[in-house]
Chains A and B, each alone.
Chain A
Amino acid sequence: MTERFMVTQAPVLIDSRTEEADGVVTLRFDWDAPASPGQFIMVWMPGVDEVPMSLSYLGDHKGITVKNVGEATKALTSLQVGDRIIVRGPYGRGYHVPKGKILAVGGGTGMASLLPAMERITATSVDTAIGARTEKELLFEERSKKTSSNVRVSTDDGSKGFHGNAVQLAKEMMSATKYDMVLGCGPEKMLFFLHKLCLENGIPCQMSLERYMKCGGGLCGSCAIDGKRVCREGPVFTGEELKDMKEFGRQRRDECGGRLRL
């Protein structure tokens, strides 16, 4: 027998809409497709576009958390309760939720992908570092406190918490506590330096990456990083895998497949 990814496509009804931070909205909907932490779905708004989104809530009442950064995400963040979207997936390899003491590091909307993983671990075994540019963009601090007994915040402008970026905060936390695993999601420059920090400290890590993505189903290759499909072999990669990637932190691709420096 061939190994197949069982994928479903379904229309879902948005039954709740929450403004999480400046320009960031969570949409919830009933959808009982099995999903694991770190996986993503393709969200189709008929007549507009179809885009990949991490699942920020699992279980039967799923959710996505969207930051308004372009045409498709503007349409998504404008959706209201009672609107329909069509979803397919879930896709990809998520986090391997580990045992031991965990440090979760999320920058920007990265916490959206990390929280479902953190919620599978007991609160005392996970510490959290949330990075934002400024207090108004800070995401999921309260939700993190429910699942993590030690939540720290960093802002680039010092408007709240640690004055600096999430990697600098993580470095401080690593010097106080011995972690068995670091989970990271956020801008790739942040992940690049977080990965470096983990290597220096000998801590295994897993990071969720993003690439321009067309089909989402493992065929077209538009999301390839060093020949690995972000939609299939990723989006979560281990520190060991990242170590071998020449493109990680350095290069992404445009809509035509052309190389762009990160």
Chain B
Amino acid sequence: MISLKVDLAGVEMENPTMLASGIMGETGGSLLAMAKGGAGALVTKSIGSVPRQGHKNPTLVELEFGYMNAMGLPNPGIEAFGEEMFEASKAGIPIVGSVFGSSAEEFASLARRMQEYGAEAVELNLSCPHAKGYGMEMGIDPDVVANIIREVKKAVVVPVFAKLTPNTHRLIDVAKAAEEAGADAIVAINTLKAMRIDVDARMPVLSNRYGGLSGPAVRGVGVRCVYELYEALKIPVIGVGGIEDWRSALEYMMAGAVAVQIGSGVGRVGPQVFGDVCSGISAYMADNGFRDITQLVGVAHD
């Protein structure tokens, strides 16, 4: 019997695939649809204190090997999101509440609300590259990150995941600071800050000018980051960036990820991507004599 079961910092998952934040996570119904696609856990859209429209269109550029987006953190606000969490809970799999704030106190109060709504863990968005005053602007400073984690840890009992940006040479410093401050897991990576210029319009396509690059185009960066984080940290790492089939998921797990998140793959492959990844991994394990998925975590290291 092959087991894909994963214990992620105390969150028990039937398989290691998770919906990444920002994709189909704004409504209860869309979260349920991703569960139906076979995800082992669901991360919500990043939710803030008040409703937010996000950036004006264009917010998306489609590329051959991925996407560039600058949604700008649209969300209905933490108050209204309770109804979505209630609906999503019918999926019967762990829901991870993603939140963003502009101060440690704001992160803490949002995390507390997510816990009240039934989130089995919270994920702190310390890495969005295209929203002024949020995300990456705070997430590249180890002291700021440590302070946020400490405040959130005081506010909740559920595990706290820190989602970090690759847009810094200090990723390891930030991750270590998060670990020392009490983070229960690190999520890496968020999108790479990027830009697309349309030569006919002679201007950046995204209304925000800057956006975040995702999809297979960034996978090599993500795998490298996870590999380095695995060597530097004791807490688990969750890998994300360009996963859309079982091979790319295993690549991250062999680099050291205990679980993987899929976002762009939902657009490029469809909601069934989670189930497809799991059946591919099971087949690989059967062919190669593995019984437990945890046997494969970090095997690419010496």
**Chain A contact residues, CB within 8 Å of chain B:** 2-4, 7, 9, 11, 42, 44, 46-47, 49-51, 84, 86, 88, 214-222, 224-229, 247, 253-259
A214 touches B29 (CB 8 A): no
Chain A positions within 8 Å of B69 at CB level? 215, 219-220
Chain A positions within 8 Å of B76 at CB level? 254, 256-259
Q: Which residue of B lies closest to A44 (CB)?
A: B58
11 A-B residue contacts at CB 8 Å?
A: A2-B245, A9-B62, A42-B57, A46-B198, A220-B69, A221-B23, A221-B30, A221-B45, A229-B24, A256-B75, A256-B77
Chain A positions within 8 Å of B27 at CB level? 221, 224, 227, 253, 257
Chain B positions within 8 Å of A7 at CB level? 62
A224 touches B80 (CB 8 A): no
Distance (Å) between the CB of B247 and the closest chain A CB? 11
Distance (Å) between the CB of A88 and the closest chain B CB? 7
A-B residue pair count with CB separations less than 8 angstroms: 127
B225-272 contacts to A (CB < 8 Å): 244-245, 263-264, 266-270
Supposing A2-B244, A224-B26 touch, asked if A219 and B200 sit within 8 A by C-beta, the answer is no
Chain B positions within 8 Å of A218 at CB level? 266-267
B50-108 contacts to A (CB < 8 Å): 51-54, 56-62, 67, 69, 71, 74-77, 80, 83
Chain A positions within 8 Å of B74 at CB level? 214, 220, 222, 255-257
Contact of A217 among B28, B62, B200 (CB under 8 A): B62
**What 0/1 pattern do residues 8 to 33 of B give for CB contact below 8 A with A?**
00000000000000111111111111
Supposing A2-B244, A219-B264, A258-B80 touch, asked if A50 and B33 sit within 8 A by C-beta, the answer is no
| B203 located at the interface, meaning its Cβ lies under 8 Å from any Cβ of chain A in the complex | yes
Interface centre among A3, A224, A254 (most CB of B within 10 A): A224
Chain A positions within 8 Å of B266 at CB level? 218-219
Q: Which residue of B lies closest to A7 (CB)?
A: B62
Distance (Å) between the CB of B279 and the closest chain A CB? 14
Q: Which residue of A lies closest to B33 (CB)?
A: A227
A220 touches B198 (CB 8 A): no
Q: Which residue of A lies closest to B47 (CB)?
A: A257
Q: Which residue of A lies closest to B214 (CB)?
A: A219
Chain B positions within 8 Å of A4 at CB level? 268-269
Q: How far apart sit A226 and B33, CA to CA, in the bound complex (Å)?
A: 9
Distance (Å) between the CB of B72 and the closest chain A CB? 9
Q: How far apart sit A193 and B54, CA to CA, in the bound complex (Å)?
A: 34
Chain B positions within 8 Å of A258 at CB level? 51, 76-77, 80
Q: How far apart sit A85 and B198, CA to CA, in the bound complex (Å)?
A: 12
Contact of B54 among A50, A216, A255, A259 (CB under 8 A): A255
B201 touches A219 (CB 8 A): no
**What 0/1 pattern do residues 35 to 55 of B give for CB contact below 8 A with A?**
000000000010000011110
Q: How far apart sit A117 and B31, CA to CA, in the bound complex (Å)?
A: 33
Distance (Å) between the CB of B6 and the closest chain A CB? 24
Chain A positions within 8 Å of B83 at CB level? 259
B244 touches A49 (CB 8 A): no
Interface centre among B25, B244, B270 (most CB of A within 10 A): B270
Chain A positions within 8 Å of B53 at CB level? 255-256
Distance (Å) between the CB of B36 and the closest chain A CB? 8
A220 touches B26 (CB 8 A): yes
Q: Which residue of A lies closest to B48 (CB)?
A: A256
